[in-house]
Amino acid sequence: MWLKADGFLERVRDWWGSYQFTGTLSFVFAHKLKALKGDLKKWNVEEFGHVTMKKNMMMAELRELDVVEESRPLSVEEKGKQELTSVELDKLILIEEICWRQKSRALWLQEGDKNSKFFHRLANSHWNTNSIAKLNINGILSSNQDFFAISGENAVWLERPFDEEEIAGVEFHEHCHFERSLNATFVSLIPKKHRADEIKDFRPISLVGGIYKIIAKMLAIRLSVVLGKIISPSQNAFVKGRQILDSVLIANECLDSRLKAEELGVICKLDLEKAYDHVNWEFLLYLLQRCGFSEKWRRWISFCISSVRFSILINGNPCGFFQSSQGIRQGNPLSPLLFVIVMEALSRMVDKASAVGLLSGFSVGEEVSDPLKISHLLFADDTLIFCEASPDNLIYLRAILTWFEATSGLRVNLGKSELAQGGEVPHLELLAEILRCKTSAFPMKYLGLPLGAHFKVQSIWNPIVEKLERHLAGWKRLYLSKGGRLTLIKSTLSNLPTYYLSLFPIPTAVAKRIETVQRNFLWGDFEEITKFHLVNWDLICTSFSNGGLNIRSLRHFNEALLGKWLWFGVEREALWRQVVMVKYGALEGGWTSKMPTGTYGVGLWKFIHSASNKFSRLLQFEVGDGTRIRFWDDMWCNDGPLKSAYLELYHIARAKDAFVADNFQCRGDSIHWEVTFTRLAQDWELESFSSFLELLYSFTGTSSGEDKVCWKPSQSKNFQVKSYYKSLTSNGEDCFPWKSIWKAKVPPWVAFFSWTAALGRILTEENLSRRRVIIVSWCCLCKMDGESVDHLLLHCAYANELWDLVFAMFGISWVMPARVRDLFDCWLGKMGKYPIHMIWRAVPHCLMWCLWRERNLRTFEGCEQHVAELKLLFLRTLFEWMASTRLFGFSSFLEFIDSCCF
């Protein structure tokens, strides 16, 4: 909001240059920020204070002028006042809209309805949910909120750019300290449940200062580079190349192997109590020393974690500062990386216990000579321990957790931890009593995903569908236009199931259920209210160029997301890949696993691998030394495998499973191909032989490096979900005039209407009769012909009056096409320079929208406008739309009218 004020950046620059302080760089910087905050607060009141009151006053003035205009024409002064007030009112409405939109946090609707009740309701609901009316502390109920208040605007300086000489980085690098006030942290209490009043019912969120974050981020970037070298493969959090889904896939495959081997076992899911808050600083610094970090680095970390001061925010008001003696802050870029270093101590303890036989772990690939044993998995503090179903294993595990708590300060909350059985363990309750934890059963939740569930079970998707339905229940659909609903579906509703879709195949029935929820929301179905669904959902899920709305098809999106797992030829070190390769075996070349056999069980890889044939058609291999690329089967020197292009030669090849390296010899700078066959070529095969050899000797891609796999649909040659999804959904029909519709500078709900009209689906009399809704069969505008989409918007005599006005404005002659779709196709051409071209692109949208509104007013309210009035409304609407883009060259409507001959 401030950035839209004229001269704001220059004003801040002048203020900043006027402050004079002496001391260290960080001291001067901190005090400059404090001074700037005071000036910003004062300026904010002067510039934006009482926006609503000013808006109401201007609206009252316009109403008075409207009353005068009804009785007599306005004078020149009154006309000027009306135009000036309208412009100022538009600015105030924009400021108010931005304010409410920021409070509502609905940034993805920034192009939606102007200043609607939606923003007010949502912003107020956030306040009502998060506000703290009272706190119950040791039985004493306190509702006193008499604290000093600070303005929310003090976060503005977090976004401004920094000069090198102002940053405290040099001082920190040399002396390992900076101004402590820069490390002050506000703690916001977010309620975990409705009407929370106990301290334990609130979740503390640290609001770390932006200046400190810059310093911490620089350290975090450096630390992340070396983190993978000191963290065990079993930890999948915050290490480059590892992801949260790795742990879930490994856990399900390990459990699947255990169940299929019919061996009893238990999985312990541990819950760490307020993990970040209890980290022992001395232990953390000791681990850094053990990991080889220098003394200077350890001093940097020590100051970052020990110099922090906290202040609790109660309904936005701070209540004093205090220091801590342990723990690391959430929200600090360093904290996740430091925490996984602390958890590495537990990982090493479990590894050592497993190595000496105190913990058994689960074995994967027992049929091979060297099975892989998995004893535990970590994702930050989310921990799974795989044990034999024996009391000894649990006793040793209890001892390890006790030692870990004593050294690190991290306590396992055994009351919330769970013990689940793999198979029918007869004494599960006794084992749980050893750990003093509760028992659980599969399927259970691990990292928000099912563990131990059959992949086809629909019930595991119930949380996603229910969450989607709850999400929609909170949105009052009457507050949103079609454009707002479309934006919401794309940005929020379609993303809700993405986490599940990235690992689990979605059943057809579940996909249809979710798409039904989305479809009903788009068209406005609500409880007992049913609306017409004007366009088929399958068409809606296609791309803009195919006439759709670019909403993702869940089944194709699911397949594209699972394709990421098939792109693992470059991930040789990943633990999940090792598990898959040991369990199912690797194909020659090691680019993928062998086809899984047997029943599905609770493993996921068998279904993921089932799409490998379709996936492999989009792969292209780059030859290095040729030791991993199969000569006949892989795609490396042609648009397809050589065995497909030269099938008759493949049949007589001596070594059908040979690698590229087996068939060529490097002699100096030249390559000599030595492909052997079982017999000499026949006369009718000579042409194929000639073409085959010509292709081989034209290939120049061999080198001494490693073989590589490339993704053909992407220019970067790396796999992308977006490109795979496009390959799965492309039908080759890119003939819809989508640029004329979706690229025009018009409100999104109008673009939605134009899209519907271009498809011929708006509810005219003709379309209503097809849906068995019978009304008078005539056009209410010209009162002559039947009302079809093309007649109403293009060929009606009433509409022709407006189209003639447009063509006169631009000084052109035009032959009206037969269909609305054809009109948008013709309208794509360039007309004049910018912004005239921008106006040209918006004209058909504006004109058809005005016609449609006039048609509806006549049909449902019995109101009619003369064609001259509709022309004025069209021009006024077009001006307002263009003015809202901030790229318009006319300052008033009168100036726009005077310049209408382009």
Report d(CA 614, CA 161) in Å as an integer.
48
Residue 168 has pLDDT above 60, yes or no: no
Residue for token pair 């940005």: 491
Angle at 705 between CA 703 and CA 708, to 5 degrees: 100
Backbone angles phi, psi at 382, to 5 degrees: -75, 115
Which residue type, as a one-letter code, is found at position 665? Answer: Q
pLDDT tens for 705-754 read 888 889 999 888 899 999 999 999 887 777 899 999 999 999 999 999 99
Reply yes or no on whether the pLDDT at 424 is more than 50: yes
pLDDT mean over 566-587: 84
How far is Cα 241 from Cα 564, in angstroms, rounded to an integer?
A: 13
What pLDDT is recorded for position 887?
A: 62
Residues 102, 11 share a domain: yes
What is the rounded end-to-end Cα distance, in angstroms, of the chain?
34
In a domain, 511, yes or no: no
For 136, the enclosing helix (H) or strand (E) is: strand 135-137
Q: How many residues does the chain have?
A: 902
Q: Give me the residue label for tokens 């042409």.
A: 687
Specify which of 76-80, 374-378, 473-477, 496-500 reaches the highest per-range mean pLDDT. Answer: 374-378
Please state the rounded mean pLDDT for residues 98-121: 48
- Residue type, position 513, single letter: R
Whether the pLDDT of residue 614 is over 80: the answer is: yes
Which residue among 662, 696, 711 closes a domain? 711
Alpha-carbon span 160 to 288, nearest angstrom: 34
Residue 684 in tokens: 């009718």
Q: Report the C-alpha gap between 782 and 805 in whole angstroms.
A: 17
- Residue 447 in any domain: the answer is yes
Kind and range of the H or E run holding 770: helix 765-770
Do 368 and 251 reside in the same domain of the chain? yes
Q: Is the CB of residue 404 less than 8 Å from the CB of residue 353? A: no
Q: Are residue 883 and residue 755 in the same domain, yes or no?
A: yes
Specify whether 277 is located in the same domain as 398: yes
- 163 or 154: which carries more pLDDT confidence? 163
Whether residue 81 sits in one domain with residue 25: yes
Give a yes or no: residue 301 inside a domain.
yes
β-pair partners for 418: 269, 438
Q: Kindly state the helix (H) or strand (E) to which residue 40 belongs, with its residue range.
A: helix 25-48
State the SS3 of 458-515.
HHHHHHHHHHHHHHHHCCCHHHCCHHHHHHHHHHHHCCCCHHHHCCCCCCHHHHHHHH
Structure tokens at 776: 């008078």
pLDDT digits (tens, 9 = 90+) for 462-494: 999 988 888 777 665 556 788 888 888 887 777
Give the tens place of pLDDT for each residue, 268-303: 999 998 888 889 999 999 999 888 888 888 888 888
With tokens 């079993």, the residue in question is: 234
Whether the per-residue pLDDT at 765 is higher than 80: the answer is: yes
User: Under DSSP, is residue 372 helix (H, G, I), strand (E, B) or coil?
Assistant: strand
Residues 6 or more apart whose Cβ sits within 8 Å of residue 160: 12
Q: Are 574 and 246 in contact (CB under 8 A)?
A: yes
Domain that holds residue 290: 217-451
* 773 and 702 in a common domain: no
> What CA dihedral angle connects 636, 638, 641 and 647, to 10 degrees?
-140
Query: In the predicted model, is pLDDT for residue 322 greater than 90?
Result: no
pLDDT at 162: 37
Q: Are 62 and 85 in contact (CB under 8 A)?
A: yes
- Position 67 scores a pLDDT of 80
Does the residue 685 lie in any domain? yes
Is 482 a member of any domain?
A: no
Contact present, 858 and 765 (Cβ < 8 Å) = no
Return d(Cα 392, Cα 431) in angstroms, integer: 9
Considering 5-9, 451-455, 701-705, 816-820, the range whose residues carry the highest mean pLDDT is: 816-820
Q: Own/partner pairs for 409-413, CB < 8 Å, 24+ apart?
A: 409/278, 409/279, 409/280, 409/283, 409/326, 410/272, 410/273, 410/275, 410/278, 410/279, 410/342, 410/343, 410/346, 410/381, 411/272, 411/273, 411/278, 412/270, 412/271, 412/272, 412/273, 413/271, 413/272, 413/273
If pLDDT is split at 50, 70 and 90, which confidence band does 537 have? very high
Q: Token pair of 440, please?
A: 């659980």
Q: Tell me the mean pLDDT in the region 884-888.
A: 69
Residues 702 and 742 in one domain: no
* Predicted local distance difference test score (pLDDT) of residue 488: 84
* Domain end marker among 451, 473, 508: 451
Cα–Cα distance, 394 to 429 (Å, whole number): 12
Residue 178 lies in a domain: no
CA angle 517, 751, 535 (to 5 degrees): 40
Angle at the Cα of 583 (from 582 to 589), degrees rounded to 5? Answer: 50
Q: Which residues on neighbouring strands pair with residue 189, listed in sequence order?
A: 204
Both 48 and 92 in a single domain? yes
Confidence class for position 10, pLDDT limits 50, 70, 90 = confident
Residues 291 and 385 in one domain: yes
Domain count, the chain: 4
pLDDT digits (tens, 9 = 90+) for 129-138: 555 555 454 5
Asked whether residue 761 falls in the same domain as residue 702, the answer is no
What is the Cα–Cα distance from 657 to 644, expressed in whole angstroms?
Answer: 14
What's the rounded Cα separation, in Å, for the pair 637 and 621?
8
Q: Are residues 242 and 108 in the same domain?
A: no
What's the pLDDT at 169? 47
Percent of the chain with pLDDT over 70: 83
Whether residue 503 is contained in a domain is answered as: no
Count Cβ atoms within 10 A of the Cβ of residue 405 and give its class: 0-12 exposed, 13-18 middle, 19 or more buried: middle
pLDDT at residue 500, as a whole number: 93
Q: What is the mean pLDDT of residues 696-707?
A: 78
The predicted pLDDT at position 613 comes to 86
Task: Name the pLDDT band for 155 (thresholds 50, 70, 90).
Answer: very low
Predicted local confidence at residue 167, as pLDDT: 47
Whether 789 maps to a domain, the answer reads yes
Q: Are 33 and 89 in a shared domain?
A: yes
Q: Are 558 and 552 in contact (CB under 8 A)?
A: no
Of 71, 96, 130, which one is at a domain's C-terminal end? 130
Give the E-state strand segments of 256-371 in sequence order: 265-270, 309-314, 317-318, 322-323, 362-364
Cα–Cα distances in angstroms (integers) from residue 457 to residues 497, 508, 902, in the given order: 16, 11, 63
